[in-house]
Amino acid sequence: MIDGTFTFLAAGAMVMNIAAVTTLRPIFLPKTEDFFTVHSIEATRQGDTAVLKVNRAILKPIHLAYTVKVFADTADGLEPFCTAKGGPYQYQPRAQLPDPITLSWWTDGACDVLPDGPAQIITTWTPTDDDLDPITKIAKVE
């Protein structure tokens, strides 16, 4: 019995030590995707703004802050156009997005319009739990 307990504790310590040294997570720690995942975001230009189509799943309640950055996609690269931040909010599994999802709604009124020409809308959700990783998705707009 003592040998079995020692083996179990030694194995656990070894997993934690490997995780600390290599920054790998032990397999039993949750991942953001266990709570919240975004499969895709698509954006369609409508005049000077955009309508978004978001394919996401909230599997368990989770607290997330968000950042939305809108960039002009120019020949010289991405140029910042607008930034919106919010939260943290508790995301619930039964929460529904509005239809349609306007750029203004997505950015809580901070970014009503798109820059002229191609643009990118980059959205990042950041969990309040430091053990969970942020999720970032990019929507390109022509």
The Cα 9–Cα 3 span in angstroms is 10
The end-to-end CA distance of the chain, in Å, is 67
User: For the purposes of burial, counting CB atoms within 10 Å of the CB of 43, is it exposed (0-12), middle (13-18) or buried (19 or more)?
Assistant: buried
User: For the purposes of burial, counting CB atoms within 10 Å of the CB of 30, is it exposed (0-12), middle (13-18) or buried (19 or more)?
Assistant: middle
pLDDT of residue 2: 52
Q: For the segment 60-103, what is each residue's pLDDT rounded down to a tens digit?
A: 999 999 999 999 999 999 999 999 999 999 999 999 999 999 99
The Cα 99–Cα 93 span in angstroms is 18
Class for the domain spanning 31-141: mainly beta
pTM: 0.80
The Cα 81–Cα 115 span in angstroms is 7
The token duo for 3 is: 């040998």
